[in-house]
Structure 1
Amino acid sequence: MIVQAKESLQLQLVSIVVATYNGERFLREQLDSIVNQTYPNLEIVIVDDASNDGTIAILERYAASYPNICVYKAEKNLGYIKNFQKGLLLCKGDYIALSDQDDIWLPEKISILMKEKGEHAMVYCNSELIGADGESLGIKLTDLKNLLDFWTPLNYVVGGTASGHAMLVKREVIEQSLPLPVIVTHDYWIGFVSTLFSPIKFVDEVLVLYRQHGGNVIGVNSGGTKATRKKKITKESRNEIIRERMKMMYEKCPDSLPEIKKVFYSLHKSYQNFSLRHNFTRMIIFFRYRKEITAYKKRKELRRWLFCMKMFFKIE
């Protein structure tokens, strides 16, 4: 037993960031699944975004029972991205995992991801969808999305499918991801930054029960469509957000990746307007790097070609 205790102390610290907001309905199940993780060296950082239901009372009870739980309460609502950022800034771990308030983690999640991480900056797992009452929907995320080892930042030109609830990320990646931009989801940005360090590793094992219900901030339905609560915006406003996203990615890409940075620069320039020259440039880049750019899409080759052709007329 003494030897096991010494081995546990040598394990790298993993920080789990739990972002909460009016989550009393499902919160206990998620917290139980986190405190019962088999990985022994955990700190659990919970940041509440000014809840006005029974969430705080639940958090305080868990914090009183588990010494590795720290609860931080916002005085005003920050929004889920900035609330996650607050939690990330408070972490001390060598590796960081992100947690929503309404899922259920399988007991071996952190242990398996730590075992599989190798030298990768990020590792992530498969998930199974469950309903509001915890019943299995018989669907894995791999049935809906193309989950794989992402090997280049170009995999994130228009999308990525590594979900935040499934991630385990090196602390250095998180440090380079901050401050989190608010025009993209936090997991999209962290995934992109991870590819600047190393390929992302996918572990094809269900380690999260991913709950779908009417209150999801981000979720998927049975058809695989992202269900986000977004305000309707005009086409031009949408295009401005897309242009800003591409600019951020180009600026973030380091000079140590000259070919990839050149691609992002060309895309950034071609996104500025819909001139004939820019339209051709954009479409040609998408065709040339279609394997990388469309890797996240669960589509056959013909549909990937059609997607690239559309880039002559639009930005994505």
Structure 2
Amino acid sequence: MSTYNGARFLREQIDSVLGQTYRYIELVITDDGSTDGTIDIINDYVKGDTRVKLYQNPQNLGFVRNFEKAIYLCTGDYIALCDQDDIWEPDKLQQLVNNIGDNILIYHDSQLFNEEGLMVKVSDVFNMYEGDSPLALLFYNCLSGHAFMFDKKLATYLKQNGPFDPAFYHDWWIAFVAASYGSIKYLDKVLVQYRQHMNSKTDLIRIRGEMDNSGHPRYFHKSLPWLKKCYTVKGKYQQFIGKLIYLLEHKTWLNSFILLYHLLSKVSTTNYIDQKSAISKLNFLRKASFYKVPQVNSR
């Protein structure tokens, strides 16, 4: 769990973790310099439950590096990321452990909710992915950190591929590395109540809106730093990603069309589950537009 000034909802989140039907857990909490009573709340749990371990950062790392630190402090066979303000269903971990099989990472559906009353499943917003192609995650990601659990060997691969870059979402990076070294499984069950905040950097509805523009050539050029980060992974398709980078760095309209051709020929959509129909997308937009949907900044 990564925490930073999360006192308001923290007890509800911690209680939902410690109340899991799967009992063999440790709760590793890395705090990033909270000043609002978060530490006092966590220490109450540390005193009463040996499964809870608190690590305080001497200086603020930001949420990406804070999650990275927490991952490497975990000692279990599987690692599940946890936000500071969501609510886990009691059988979340048991369901994931039972279904991960030989996959390196498994993730599930979630119910989004906010203070204005919006309630919608992540699968209503995103096409969910299952498979072992990192190319499918180059310009599109449906895996949220709060929803996945991975084999501890993925932590080794992450460390081998260098530090997390704060410029990119930690869960996008973890998902890409996972697909580069193993396979990803999707579990079609809602196992987390995921709280969306005003001005949140991890607002999934806003992120989906940005990704809807990912087919436009200008979007590819904005993605160049991300592609260069992905290219550092010595896994499947590294050479292909290098070709994409070359096409983007030598910007012409012809290269843009070549780039699109390469992507369409290489990246199969058959591993995306529940492709959203036009009607389902309209239903989602109708639902979402009824509320004042939050915008961007701080989690």
Partner of residue 207, structure 1? 191
Aligned partners of 1:103 and 1:209 also within 8 Å: yes
Q: Deviations over 1:169-218 (max 9, x none)?
A: 11111222232122210000000111122221000000000012226341
Matched, 1:97 2:74: no
Q: Deviations over 1:14-44 (max 9, x none)?
A: xxxx000000111010000001011111111
How many angstroms does 1:262 deviate by? 3.1
Q: CA 1:294–1:283 in structure 2 vs 1: closer, same or farther (change >3 Å)?
A: farther
Residue in structure 2 matching 1:282, options 259, 270, 289: 259
How many angstroms does 1:80 deviate by? 0.3
Partner of residue 163, structure 1? 144
TM-score normalised by L of structure 2: 0.81
The one-letter amino acid of 1:201's match is K
Alignment of 1:181-196 (within 5 A): 181-196=165-180
Structure 2 distance, partners of 1:294, 1:112, is 22
Bigger-Rg structure (1/2):
1
Aligned partners of 1:159 and 1:296 also within 8 Å: no
- State the secondary structure of the residue aligned to 2:181: coil
Aligned partners of 1:125 and 1:202 also within 8 Å: yes
- State the secondary structure of the residue aligned to 1:245: helix
The count of aligned residue pairs is: 266
The one-letter amino acid of 2:190's match is V
Structure 1 distance, partners of 2:225, 2:129, is 27
Matched, 1:36 2:19: yes
- State the secondary structure of the residue aligned to 1:196: helix
How many angstroms does 1:227 deviate by? 8.9
Q: CA 1:196–1:167 in structure 2 vs 1: closer, same or farther (change >3 Å)?
A: same
Aligned partners of 2:135 and 2:267 also within 8 Å: no
Alignment of 1:214-233 (within 5 A): 214=198, 216-220=200-204, 224-226=205-207
Alignment of 1:1-20 (within 5 A): 18-20=1-3
The one-letter amino acid of 2:203's match is G
Partner of residue 296, structure 2? none
Aligned partners of 1:155 and 1:293 also within 8 Å: no
Q: Deviations over 1:147-178 (max 9, x none)?
A: 13133111111121111000101111122223
Q: CA 1:21–1:293 in structure 2 vs 1: closer, same or farther (change >3 Å)?
A: farther
Alignment of 1:231-270 (within 5 A): 242-254=223-235, 257=236, 260-270=237-247
Structure 1 distance, partners of 2:102, 2:62, is 33
Q: Deviations over 1:122-167 (max 9, x none)?
A: 000100112349x6x4411111111131331111111211110001
Partner of residue 133, structure 2? 152
TM-score normalised by L of structure 1: 0.77
Aligned partners of 1:153 and 1:192 also within 8 Å: yes
Q: CA 1:41–1:191 in structure 2 vs 1: closer, same or farther (change >3 Å)?
A: same
- State the secondary structure of the residue aligned to 1:216: coil
Aligned partners of 2:104 and 2:178 also within 8 Å: yes
Percent pairwise identity: 32
Bigger drift between 142-151 and 281-290 goes to: 281-290
Structure 2 distance, partners of 1:183, 1:215, is 17
Partner of residue 57, structure 1? 40
How many angstroms does 1:245 deviate by? 1.6
Structure 1 distance, partners of 2:267, 2:67, is 32
Q: Please tell me the root mean square deviation across aligned C-alpha atoms, in Å.
A: 2.5
Bigger drift between 83-92 and 112-121 goes to: 83-92
Aligned partners of 2:64 and 2:170 also within 8 Å: yes
Runs of 5+ consecutive residues of structure 2 not aligned to the other structure:
210-218, 279-299
Structure 2 distance, partners of 1:274, 1:30, is 47
Structure 1 distance, partners of 2:269, 2:241, is 13
Matched, 1:143 2:162: no
Residue in structure 2 matching 1:107, options 79, 90, 93: 90
Partner of residue 87, structure 1? 70
